[in-house]
Amino acid sequence: MRNLSDLFGRKNSASTAKERLRLVLIHDRSTLAPGAMEALRDELVEVISRHVEVDPGEVRLELTQEGRSQRLLADIPLKRRSEPVPDEY
């Protein structure tokens, strides 16, 4: 027989605490100072915008932890070009 927490999709307190601890550890282990992520985002937009048109309001950066390594994920939406891309690309 299922208990009420199973019916409502609630996690038990141990798994909730474990997830919170994981997020705290990811944040503590990151080598980026506060505000550095925003500066990195701005620089990425600036550099990529030299080559393609970017929608800066939609750029998202995420720092993830996989085992002992960290990964920076960037989601950078490009705006559509109205002109054809040259053959050299």
Residue 86 lies in a domain: no
0.75 surpassed by pTM: no
φ and ψ at residue 75, rounded to 5 degrees: -115, 105
Residue 80 lies in a domain: no
Residue 57 lies in a domain: yes
Please report, for the domain that includes residue 65, its CATH number.
3.30.1070
Banded model confidence at residue 10, pLDDT cuts 50, 70, 90? low
Residue 84 lies in a domain: no
Which DSSP helix (H) or strand (E) runs through 65? strand 60-66
Which residues constitute the domain of residue 63?
A: 12-75
Structural domain count of the chain: 1
- For the segment 14-39, what is each residue's pLDDT rounded down to a tens digit? 777 877 777 676 666 666 776 888 88
Residue 51 lies in a domain: yes
Closest CA to 46 of 27, 31, 59, 33: 59
